[in-house]
Amino acid sequence: MTQFDEAFVDASAFQPPSKWQARSSNLMVWLTVALLLVAGWFLKDWMMTQFRYLALAEGEPAIPYPAQWQPQPAQGLALQVFAPDSDSPFASREEVAVLPLPDAPIASAWPEQRQEQLRDYQESDRALVTMDDGRQALLLTYTYVAEGDAPASLIVVSARDLAFQVNDGHADRLVVVTLAADADEREKTEPVFQRLLQQMGVTAR
């Protein structure tokens, strides 16, 4: 205690905290830290299940995307969002493209387009699925090679397309929802991709 304190407080009445009181205080601090960590973990888990929606047209399905993912406009895409916690130069992403409807059936025309667009395209699964509103869609699973940020660096990308027909009020169009990630991060991102597909009534294969 300072001399100023002693002028107003009886110094003989001042007692330092006991060992039990000090331990109890430290325990409360650690307990508070632990509760904050647990709360943060639950908040992160809760955020993984939260979605925003891209409206296509009246009467057409809205496309879900993770609420915490970061949007980045891109030419030719109605939506592009990136996972903020991705460690890869090719960040996990969701993209939505609205395209002219091909003359051939979607199930054959879209995989052919992908093969022409992507480097080292390798299809691993092709299936017709039914969405929430009863319409049929193509679920296409594949890998391809993308260029990384560093010179001559290549990344194997694991991707899944959900392709289906909509009407935008003027004409029939092809909508393609692409869920893509670095193949090394697929296990980390797959639960989010599964939830996105489930939101559209599709069970991933």
pLDDT score of 2 more than 60: no
**pTM of the entire structure?**
0.75
Q: How confident is the model at residue 153 (pLDDT cuts 50, 70, 90)?
A: confident
Q: What pLDDT was estimated at residue 125? A: 96
pLDDT score of 182 more than 80: yes
Asked if 120 and 138 touch (Cβ cutoff 8 Å), the reply is no
CA distances from 151 to 8, 17, 148, 163 (A): 73, 63, 7, 33
Asked if 132 and 61 touch (Cβ cutoff 8 Å), the reply is yes
Task: Mark whether 59 and 98 lie in a shared domain.
Answer: yes
Domain that holds residue 68: 52-199
Report the distance separating Cα 25 and Cα 45, nearest Å: 31
Those residues with Cβ within 8 angstroms of residue 184's Cβ, 6 or more apart along the chain or in another chain: 88, 156
Task: Mark whether 30 and 120 lie in a shared domain.
Answer: no
pLDDT tens-digit map of 58-98: 889 999 999 999 999 999 999 999 999 888 989 999 999 99
Beta-sheet pairing, 70-71 with 122-130: unpaired
Task: Mark whether 39 and 87 lie in a shared domain.
Answer: no
Question: Residue 71 sits in a domain of what CATH number?
Answer: 3.40.1000.10
Task: Mark whether 39 and 57 lie in a shared domain.
Answer: no
Task: Mark whether 37 and 103 lie in a shared domain.
Answer: no
Higher pLDDT, 60 or 152: 60
Task: Mark whether 32 and 82 lie in a shared domain.
Answer: no
Domain count, the chain: 2
Task: Mark whether 41 and 64 lie in a shared domain.
Answer: no
In a domain, 27, yes or no: yes
Which residues, listed in sequence order, are joined to residue 167 by a DSSP beta bridge? 172
pLDDT score of 120 more than 90: yes
Match 């990344």 to its residue by tokens. Answer: 155
Q: What pLDDT was estimated at residue 41? A: 44
